[in-house]
Amino acid sequence: MMEALVPPGGGPPSHVQTREDEGFYVLEGTLTFWVDGREVKTGPSTFLNVPRGCVHNFRNTTEQDVRMLILFAPAGIEGMFSKMGADPERYVEFATEYGVEFPEAVD
């Protein structure tokens, strides 16, 4: 599990985890998720589960920071975030190493 702060306009490109399920628990703010083409709005105290293999992304479309917890099962992908923090320009390379795929023609 990790805590994330998503600034206004922030969020990842559409992607798929091939090795783990991902859960999001919004603590503060509002996020818009897209999971396999379906839009889901979340606010404080919302939990959203994204099973492995689902194309998903999220965006903070508000003017306020969003704070959330992200859970991964099984663990291991946290190493990807450490690498990305040290060298963000190589995020696609690091993501691929951890089984994250970026489908074409999304977003």
Strand stretches in 1-107, DSSP E: 2-6, 16-17, 21-28, 31-35, 38-42, 47-50, 56-59, 66-73, 100-101
pTM over 0.85: yes
- Chain segment 43-64, per-residue pLDDT in tens: 999 999 999 999 999 999 999 9
- Determine whether domain 2-99 maps to CATH 3.30.360.10: no
- Chain segment 89-102, per-residue pLDDT in tens: 998 899 999 999 99
Q: Please give the pLDDT value at position 85.
A: 87
Q: Delimit the domains of the chain by residue range.
A: 2-99
Residue 105's pLDDT band, with cuts at 50, 70 and 90, is very low
